[in-house]
Amino acid sequence: MDRLLVTGGSPLSGTVRIQGAKNSALKLMAASLLADGRTVIENVPRIVDCLTMVEVLEHLGASVAWEDGRMIVDTGGVDGHETPYELVRRMRASIVVLGPLLAREGRARVAMPGGCNIGSRKIDLHLRGLEHMGASFEHDHGYLEVTAGDLRGAVISLDYPSVGATENLMMAAVGARGTTVIENAAREPEIQDLAGFLVRMGARIEGAGTPTVEIQGVDRFEPVRHVVIPDRVEAGTWAVAVCATGGDVLLAGARTDHMDLPLSKLAETGAEVTVEGEGIRVRMPERALAVDLVTLPYPGFPTDLQPQMMALLASARGTSIVTENVFEARFMFVDELNRMGADIRTEGHHAVIRGVDRLSSAPVRALDLRAGAAMVIAALTADGVTEVSDMYHVHRGYEGFEEKLASLGARVSAGPARSPAVLG
């Protein structure tokens, strides 16, 4: 278990380089399975989840070289089709190898992902869509045995614009016979990045980033070189931390076109947000004003920034109402915030946050990746020294988290033990 000690009261200032997007890089790595040869993916963030996806690819027989953000995936040796529970348990996003494996091998054996700290995380939409394309499933002691002799195109209407389901179905459909139309598809920038990657490989995709994606199946794919888009959630996390501490920071490499709502929400709290060179400058001249917030699929406000915003609003001027529409259990961390003197009441999907003058330090835990970042943001505003434990959750998705904090002037000191993978 690793801990972070944070002394509150220092405004963040300076420049922070935004990493490649975790939620794109993981899918691009899976998509590389479609082509035989060496695919080069640049700007892959050095985070634990990407290390786990390397293990998933190597378990399938691929070989992966990775240095300075450049990853080379050689799929020449891919001969497997199984993703074991040990890996899926660590990272449920491993399930996105299902689509490419079916397109490449016509079969897959993937451990069913369990739930996680923010919700049940079902995959019924993934499976129903693949079934429409001719796949059949057998449950076998916690594993899914999937066979799809040759996938055929289908019209698939998603009950909910699921990011993972859209990605898995796209990666299966590109190799299916005929045309696939995904209706009510997710529209996130990471979906568009994946579609761009697949088209470069030889796929034929129209409409990525809109609710209707049309895919013509093709027979073969070429390995490619691709640069991962910047991580809008990491950038948003730092932007919220700047607002919480009354700081002034340049988010180098961040893209405003991926962050419209988060940036306009922060401006509503009183932040000054300007495009500066290749980045976004966020400055907070005074204590935040309370705002209401509703999380929705993209382009709505991202659920992945909800916990961070709650940490900011906990000591804003006034009362805020936050509605979480994406994950049913994403308020679990509120109890940790209330341990620091926040005044937050939750009722189902709604949280009422009465801003307090200042949070107070207390030992707290990171419950998941984004809640962990939220606890650190809260600690940056609190009086005294806060200890945040279970920081391994944060290391799953934030590259050099403590180093970036310190470089922006935060007073932090890492605890005695840290997840070895981070130091890898």
Which residues are marked as active site? 116
Q: Which is nearer to ligand EPZ, 126 or 281 (CB)?
A: 126
Please tell me what DSSP assigns to residue 304: G
Output the smallest distance, CB 156 to ligand EPZ, in A: 12
Contacts of 86 (CB under 8 A, 6+ apart): none
User: Beta partners for 136?
Assistant: 147
Q: Which is nearer to ligand EPZ, 41 or 382 (CB)?
A: 41
Contacts of 78 (CB under 8 A, 6+ apart): 33, 60, 61, 62, 104
Radius of gyration of the chain (CA): 21
Output the smallest distance, CB 127 to ligand EPZ, in A: 7
Residue 229 burial class via C-beta count within 10 angstroms: exposed 0-12, middle 13-18, buried 19 and up: buried
Q: Which residues bind ligand EPZ (CB under 6 A)?
A: 22-23, 26, 93, 119-126, 160, 162-165, 303-304, 326-327, 369-370, 397
Task: Count Cβ neighbours within 10 Å for each residue of 369-403 and write b for 16 or more, e otherwise.
Answer: bbbbbbbbbbbbbbeebbbbbbbbbbbbbbbbbbe
Q: Which is nearer to ligand EPZ, 53 or 284 (CB)?
A: 53
Q: Which is nearer to ligand EPZ, 22 or 109 (CB)?
A: 22
In whole angstroms, give the CA distance from residue 318 to residue 90: 39
In whole angstroms, give the CA distance from residue 325 to residue 160: 12
Output the smallest distance, CB 312 to ligand EPZ, in A: 17
Q: Which is nearer to ligand EPZ, 26 or 34 (CB)?
A: 26
Query: Could you count the other beta carbons within 10 Å of the beta carbon of residue 180?
Result: 26
Output the smallest distance, CB 304 to ligand EPZ, in A: 5
In whole angstroms, give the CA distance from residue 18 to residue 251: 6
Beta strands in 102-163 (DSSP E): 107-111, 136-140, 143-147, 155-157
Q: Which is nearer to ligand EPZ, 38 or 89 (CB)?
A: 89
- 350-354 and 343-347 as β-strands: parallel, antiparallel, unpaired? antiparallel
